[in-house]
Structure formats: C-alpha cells, structure tokens
C-alpha cells in the first residue's frame, strides 16, 4: 500500500510561499509585487472563487516570473486543479496571445484567476503612475486579452467570468 500523499498546503501557507517566492520583486510602478498577488487573490475571493482558485491567484505569476519552477510545481502539495490553473495563466515565451487565451478558456477555473489579474493590472490608479507609452501599451494589451477571453471591456473587471 502506498503512503498517503502529504496534505495540501493551506491558503495561509500558499500566501506565505508566494510572498517568499516574490520577495524583493517589484511591479512596473515600483511597488512590492506581493501587493499585486494579494489583490488578485482578494479579487478571486470577492468573485466567489474556490480555495483552489485563490491558491492559483497567489501563485499565478510564480512560474512565469521564474520565482518557482515547473518542476517544483509538479511536486508541490497543491491540488491538480490549482496546478493546472497556474500553468494555464503562465504566459510562455513568444506564445501568441490567441494560444495563451485559448489555454485559459480550456482550463476549468483559470478564467476567474485571469479576470482578477487583468482587473488589478488595468486599475487606473496603478496605470496612472506609469509613463504614457507604457500605460498605452499595457491598456491595449489588457483590452485585447479581455476581448479574447470574452470578458466585459470595463477596467474594473466586475463583470465577466465570476464563478468560473
């Protein structure tokens, strides 16, 4: 008989892990990156997301930013659904946006995580501190992703994938 797998990480443990993995990292505005992770996790929670989706929100950029490896993720004490969501929202180098968004749409639960991520990234207060060319580039990028995902076009991201 095989031994029982280790228990899954709690949300508090996932949060602590994400904060450690991204420690010292800042966003484009120079703010601690953990603030973005917390906002995305809170957005998922406010949109009625599951604990698995909240865990994925905390770790949504960990593989993309190389804070954690795919190998680490494969062996992590996380549900398979959480791991799949994290990989779904992980943008791959030189990947066409159409392929990226198709993967998100094909992965149960991932759309809500990405919706919350986009809502925080497109927050006018966050964008306001960036230079105009960066702000315009990111605004267009986020709008295109929202369009491909079938989300409402508003910057708040309050309508769209809730419950997905």
Domain chopping of the chain, boundaries:
11-149
Out of 18-32, 65-79, 105-119, the most confident range is 105-119
156 has pLDDT over 70: no
Strand partners, 32: 26
Question: At 28, is the pLDDT very low, low, confident or very high (cuts 50, 70, 90)?
Answer: confident
pLDDT digits (tens, 9 = 90+) for 36-49: 999 999 999 999 99
Token pair recorded at residue 101: 């968004």
Banded pLDDT at 154 (limits 50, 70, 90): low
164 pLDDT exceeds 50? Answer: no
Q: Which residue has the higher pLDDT, 105 or 157?
A: 105
Tokens of 84: 């799949």
29 neighbors 129 (Cβ within 8 angstroms): yes
CB 26 within 8 A of CB 79: no
Return the residue matching tokens 């995580």. Answer: 113
As a whole number, mean pLDDT of residues 135-141 equals 96
pLDDT at 158 over 50: no
Q: 112-131 pLDDT, tens per residue?
A: 999 999 999 999 999 999 99
> pTM here?
0.89
Give the closest residue to 124 by CA, choosing from 109, 137, 135. Answer: 135
Instruction: Give me the pLDDT at residue 5, please.
Output: 75
* pLDDT of 155 above 80: no
Q: How sure is the predictor about 153, in pLDDT bands with cuts at 50, 70 and 90? A: low
pLDDT of residue 152: 73
| Helix, strand or coil, per DSSP, at residue 32 | strand
In the prediction, which pLDDT does 2 show? 79
Instruction: Select 11-149's CATH number: 1.10.3210.10, 1.10.10.10, 3.30.2350.10, 2.60.40.10.
Output: 1.10.3210.10
Of 119, 14, 7, nearest to 59 by C-alpha is 14
The confidence band for 92, taking pLDDT boundaries of 50, 70 and 90, is very high
């Amino acid at each position: 008989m095989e031994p029982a797998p280790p228990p899954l990480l709690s949300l508090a443990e996932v949060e602590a892990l994400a904060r450690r993995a991204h420690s010292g990292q800042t966003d484009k505005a120079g703010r601690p990156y953990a603030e973005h992770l917390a906002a995305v996790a809170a957005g998922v929670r406010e949109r009625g997301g599951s604990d698995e989706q909240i865990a994925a929100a905390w770790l949504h950029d960990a593989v993309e930013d190389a804070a954690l490896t795919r190998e680490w993720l494969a062996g992590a004490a996380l549900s398979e659904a959480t791991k799949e969501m994290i990989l779904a929202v992980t943008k791959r180098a030189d990947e066409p946006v159409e392929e990226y968004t198709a993967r998100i749409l094909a992965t149960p639960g991932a759309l809500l995580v990405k919706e919350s991520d986009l809502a925080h990234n497109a927050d006018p207060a966050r964008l306001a501190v960036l230079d105009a060319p960066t702000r315009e580039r990111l605004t267009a990028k986020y709008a295109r992703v929202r369009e491909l995902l079938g989300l409402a076009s508003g910057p708040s991201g309050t309508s769209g994938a809730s419950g997905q």
